[in-house]
Amino acid sequence: MPSFDIVSKIDLQTLDNALNTVKKEITTRFDFKDSHVDIDLNKKDLVLNLAVETDMKLTQVVDVLISRTMRQGLDAAIYDLSKEPYQSGKVVKKEVPVRNGIKQEDAKKIVKMIKDSGLKVQVAIMDDIVRVTGKKIDDLQEVIQKCKEANLGIPLQYVNMKS
């Protein structure tokens, strides 16, 4: 039976390359001259730590981060920008978690959406992977299209297609 997996994984090397280009651009920009900007990725916890002098510069750093990430081929939704920045001494800090893997509640939303579509496919949650199995490849391609149209707020990839 044909099947495929829905995953939400990021390539750590591509993310690291995007962060390096962000750091390089920030150091060459005139508006960041002689200002403290610290961009650090905790690879173990997948948390990006930003530290800048003002809120305005923080928003500019986030804009550059998103644009460079998209140029590297990563989805901008990998960053969870919902946390508020906080003042720490003379700098403004912000922790930005990087989404990697599908959380259980997101997987349940995906399964519910696929089952509500009425397609003749079976859906199973396996840790941080959602496996979709069906008799026809056309049904599986329709599931992929429905997932792309649905705005779930997480970057999805469709891998391991077997026929």
Total of domains in the chain? 2
Tell me: do 121 and 50 sit in the same domain.
no
Q: Under a CB-based contact definition with an 8 Å cutoff, are residues 154 and 8 in contact?
A: yes
Q: Which residues of 119-129 are buried (b: 16+ CB within 10 A; e: fewer)?
A: bebebeeeeeb
Tell me: do 116 and 157 sit in the same domain.
yes
Q: Is this model's pTM higher than 0.85 or not?
A: no
pLDDT in tens, the chain (163 residues): 889 999 988 889 999 999 999 999 998 988 888 888 999 999 898 999 999 999 999 999 999 999 999 999 988 889 988 889 999 888 999 999 998 888 899 899 999 999 998 889 999 998 889 999 999 899 889 999 988 888 888 888 888 888 7
Tell me: do 122 and 157 sit in the same domain.
yes
Tell me: do 54 and 114 sit in the same domain.
no
Residue with tokens 């696929």: 114
Tell me: do 86 and 158 sit in the same domain.
no
Q: In this structure, what CATH number is given to the domain that contains residue 70? A: 3.30.70.990
The DSSP result for 25-54, as a single string, is HHHH-GGGTT---EEEEETTTTEEEEEESS
Residue 163 carries which DSSP code?
-
